[in-house]
Amino acid sequence: MELIIQIIISGILSLALSIAAYKLRMLTFSGALASLFIGYTVGVFGSIEWLILLIIFTSAGLIVTKMDINQKSALSLQEGDFGERTYKNVLGVGIPACLFAFLYWLLHMLLNGQYDFALTVAFITTLTVAAADTVASEIGIRDGKVWLITTFERVKRGTNGGVSVLGTSASVAATVFTGLIGWLLIFKGIDIYVLVPILMGIAGNLIDSVLGATLENRGELSKYANNSFSAIFSALIGMIIVLYL
């Protein structure tokens, strides 16, 4: 019965978020469908708390994307026509969360919850990385002083791999916020291990920037694949830390 309730609530919450984001022109129709899939997967294979954290992250990310949309449009740096995101954007940040939600369910069934804690940390980490990247891009656009992370030469705003003081500071704040909220929501308290998803979120964002300045700028990696890889890699490192520290 509890599983049935979880499935129903996951469907309702995911559908409500997707419809609202589509109506507010934050997601395209394809983006809304992808959002529904991601939310439902996380809610069913993870937990309702996992889904609520995902909704908090998604809502905050979409709001930040809409901030200063006129300025972004003037610089041709906005997503879509009005800041709306497509299925590619949604899947780029959502697939890592789905992956660890599914692994959580599978290994919980097979190994009686032996890796529940580590996989939960990994899930939170995927969202801290995503939050850091989203905020660094959307808030950092306000800062005109941007340097390429690999060479530290000055580059234009919106350049892959470009970092700024404002963007970096905002990304760290977003990582801390997401990590703390996620930990409180899922574990109902705070302990030293909350530093793992926070620190790996910061590291994941830096990895994303380095890959953006190298492989992405050379056309060898899409930004969506970059988003997924950075989050998955950081989450796996986070798992290793909590398992063997």
Give the HSE-up count for residue 195: Cα atoms under 13 Å, Cβ half-sphere: 5
Q: Which of 98, 88, 81, 100 is nearest to 26 (CA)?
A: 81
pLDDT for the residue numbered 210: 97
Q: Which two tokens stand for residue 136?
A: 């660094």
pTM for the model? 0.94
pLDDT tens-digit map of 17-66? 999 999 988 899 999 999 999 999 999 999 999 999 999 999 988 888 77
Which structural domain range is residue 88 located in? 2-244
The count of other CB atoms within 10 Å of the CB of residue 17 is: 23
pLDDT for the residue numbered 172: 96
The count of other CB atoms within 10 Å of the CB of residue 54 is: 30
Could you state, in chain order, the average pLDDT of each consecutive group of 10 residues for the chain (245 residues)?
Answer: 89 96 92 97 97 94 74 58 81 97 97 96 98 89 89 90 93 96 96 97 97 95 96 98 93
pLDDT for the residue numbered 68: 64
In degrees, rounded to 5, the angle at the alpha carbon of residue 25 between the alpha carbons of residues 100 and 85 is: 40
DSSP string, 134-166: HHHHHHHTT-S-EEETTT--EE-TT-TTEE-HH
Number of structural domains, the chain? 1
pLDDT for the residue numbered 72: 58
